[in-house]
């Protein structure tokens, strides 16, 4: 089972848009990453997001890049300051590949908890638009398979992901 953790794309400042929708740069970055993943061996059966506008828009871009058939659902407990410990038991029960779209500091802490069992490791830095792929082994232990950012893709990096 693979768990894809994505931080939403860059948002418009809240003083410009109180909903903090994706900016043009943020939308393009997520589209670049989503298209790249759709053309690689990445796949997921469900997409969860926090419900915030920028996360929902990011989730929609991923669904569209994968043909628009992947179900998208708001999931409680994915907001920036929510404690990831609460959703960890749920994540550990999932059997199919899943994408979670969220925010900082939540995404970094969740990654740390899954991989290291602690929330202070700083294993992955999530710039806007980053996707981390974690894989659960048969033993129930997790490993980081790869990490990609829009910046790396703009530089031409990222070939060979699966």
CATH number of domain containing 141: 3.40.50.1240
101 backbone dihedrals φ, ψ, rounded to 5°: -110, 120
- Number of structural domains in the chain: 1
Task: Please choose, from the candidates 145, 76, 137, 86, the residue with its C-alpha nearest in 3D space to the C-alpha of residue 110.
Answer: 86
Q: What is the mean pLDDT of residues 120-140?
A: 92
In a domain, 159, yes or no: no
* Range scoring the smallest mean pLDDT among 15-19, 76-80, 96-100: 15-19
- Domain extent, residue 149, equals 2-154
Q: What is the rounded CA–CA span in Å between residue 60 and residue 65?
A: 9
Q: Is residue 120 part of a domain?
A: yes
Residue 44 lies in a domain: yes
Q: What average pLDDT does this structure show over 64-74?
A: 95
Q: How far apart are CA 43 and CA 11, in angstroms?
A: 25
Query: Which helix H or strand E contains 60, and what residues bound it?
Result: helix 53-65
Instruction: Decide if 142 is inside a domain.
Output: yes
Residue 67 lies in a domain: yes
- pTM beyond 0.85: the answer is yes
């Amino acid at each position: 089972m693979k768990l894809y953790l994505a931080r939403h794309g860059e948002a418009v400042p809240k003083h410009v848009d109180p909903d903090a929708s994706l900016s043009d740069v943020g939308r393009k970055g997520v589209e670049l990453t989503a298209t790249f993943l759709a053309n690689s061996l990445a796949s997921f059966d469900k997409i969860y997001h926090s419900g915030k506008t920028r996360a929902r828009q990011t989730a929609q871009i991923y669904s569209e890049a994968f043909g628009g058939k992947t179900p998208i659902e708001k999931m409680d407990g994915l907001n920036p300051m929510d404690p990831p410990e609460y959703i960890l038991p749920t994540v550990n029960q999932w059997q199919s590949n899943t994408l979670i779209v969220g925010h900082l500091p939540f995404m970094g802490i969740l990654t740390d908890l899954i991989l290291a069992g602690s929330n202070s490791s700083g294993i992955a830095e999530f710039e806007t638009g980053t996707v981390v792929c974690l894989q659960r082994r048969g033993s129930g232990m997790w490993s980081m398979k790869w990490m990609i950012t829009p910046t790396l893709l703009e530089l031409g990096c990222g070939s060979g992901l699966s």
